[in-house]
Amino acid sequence: MHDSKPIIEIKGIGKKYNITHQRGGYVSLRDVLMNILKSPFSFLKTKAKQVVGLEKKEDFWALKDVSFNVQRGEVIGIIGSNGAGKSTLLKILSQITPPTEGEIILRGRVGSLLEVGTGFHPELTGRENIFLNGAILGMKKKEIAEKFDEIVAFAGIEKFLDTPVKYYSSGMYVRLAFSVAAHMEPDILIVDEVLAVGDAEFQKKCLGKMEEVTQKNGRTILFVSHNMGAIRQLCEKTIVLNKGSIVDFIETEKAIDIYLSKTKSEKIIIPLKNTNREEFRIKKIEFKNDTNKPWIVECFEKIKIEVIMEITENIPNFRFGIGINSLSGERISTVHSDEKTLEKGEYLVSIELENRLVPGRYELGLGVLNRYQLPGFSILEVENNKNNDHKWFNPGSIDIKSDFVIKKK
């Protein structure tokens, strides 16, 4: 073994997206054909311009010129605000998407864990899914068979081994999924925000397991998380990413400081999709809470949002709404303004939301009655650091203010 050579060498990695790709974009062939048929000349013109290079496609560099080395046995955290390029970096490292430029050398077997339970099939039993999921994660059949008992024991699902996982509770499902992943034995493990699932106790168990594995086997781990606690616990050094480049690569404590001070100074601006409506345009959405971290609030603390929009035509019954969804997409709450006639001009919408959300992550969306919807413009994270009298929360998404009186009649 060449211990002198770093186990991960990343040299000048960059990833470029077209804005169209960025939009998530598949299109329908019908639309494309119709466009060509309707106006063949303008189609040819834009095509020709593209070929000649007169009209530039809008490019967007999700990562630009990223280079760093990781030594064998190091556990490295990666932090950065939404859109900083963390996920893109992990996707390139796991070979899900190729880089546009640069080179990466990985000296060892790579395992990536961007999600727990990838490829789980609801119709298959726990036993069958262990093998399937293991194989998808890159384990050999023999290897899975050897570790089978260990995996089952760690997940604690002995009784339900032969039940299809569609009948599992979500807790059991996550435990089983994580358990398979925890028993991978690659030299390099790439982990995305997977610990955000599962209950607190199981999260602790998983962190423990990951610590144990790294210390015992000297495994190298790259770990992305929004959970600063987990980063602190696991990682010696941390990379701070911002807008696709490395801001710093230093000891974890310092890195977290840099990250927090950075995100405070520049409130994030969400890349807005075009509204498709001429008369109405959103220019900016801002999180106005007075904290270090954008889109992270303490539980029970009011959520303050400001939206700047431009209206180019009078709108008779304007109603502005905010929706809060769970990450699985279920609507938790919808609130909206009164109806109002707006003349053209620029407007500032200030929103204050009473916050009874239980700690966790939620999706915020906004909309204008009959005109516009922007689902999921940001993820809101509700934390519980200060409410010591409220250490834990009952199941559910909303902590309704309640008053119980029990008296003997």
63 is a contact residue toward other proteins (CB under 8 A): no
404 is a contact residue toward other proteins (CB under 8 A): no
* Beta-strand pair 75-79/220-224: parallel
Report helix angle 141-155 to 170-182, nearest 10: 140
264-284 residues labelled b (16+ CB within 10 A) or e (exposed): eeeebebeeeebeeeebbbee
92 is a contact residue toward other proteins (CB under 8 A): yes
Tell the smallest beta-carbon distance from residue 102 to other proteins (Å). 8
The nearer residue to other proteins, 100 or 337, going by C-beta atoms, is 100
Tell the smallest beta-carbon distance from residue 138 to other proteins (Å). 8
Tell the smallest beta-carbon distance from residue 124 to other proteins (Å). 6
96 is a contact residue toward other proteins (CB under 8 A): yes
Burial of 313 (0-12, 13-18, 19+ CB in 10 A): exposed
137 is a contact residue toward other proteins (CB under 8 A): yes
The nearer residue to other proteins, 100 or 291, going by C-beta atoms, is 100
212 is a contact residue toward other proteins (CB under 8 A): no
* Beta-strand pair 220-224/188-191: parallel
Of 99-107, 151-159, 238-246, 270-278, the window that binds other proteins (rule: CB under 8 A) is 99-107
Q: For residue 272, what is the DSSP state?
A: P
Among 73, 83, 108, 376, binds other proteins (CB under 8 A): 108
69 is a contact residue toward other proteins (CB under 8 A): no
Decide if 19 contacts 58 (C-beta within 8 A): yes
Structure tokens at 227: 């959970």
Decide if 138 contacts 183 (C-beta within 8 A): no
400 is a contact residue toward other proteins (CB under 8 A): no
Residues 6+ apart with CB under 8 A from 148: 130
Residues 112-131 that bind other proteins (CB under 8 A): 112, 114-115, 118-119, 121, 123-124, 128, 131
# binding residues, other proteins (CB under 8 A): 49
Sign, CA dihedral 235-236-242-245, equals: negative
Decide if 59 contacts 19 (C-beta within 8 A): yes
The Cα–Cα gap between 249 and 238 comes to 6
Among 101, 199, 248, 310, binds other proteins (CB under 8 A): 101
196 is a contact residue toward other proteins (CB under 8 A): no
141 is a contact residue toward other proteins (CB under 8 A): yes
Classified as helix, coil or strand, 146 is: helix
286 is a contact residue toward other proteins (CB under 8 A): no
Among 63, 75, 78, 106, binds other proteins (CB under 8 A): 106
Cα 213-215-218 angle, rounded to 5 deg: 85
Tell the smallest beta-carbon distance from residue 178 to other proteins (Å). 14
Tell the smallest beta-carbon distance from residue 110 to other proteins (Å). 6
User: Interface with other proteins by CB under 8 A: which residues?
Assistant: 1, 17, 21, 24-30, 32, 91-110, 112, 114-115, 118-119, 121, 123-124, 128, 131-132, 135-138, 140-141, 187
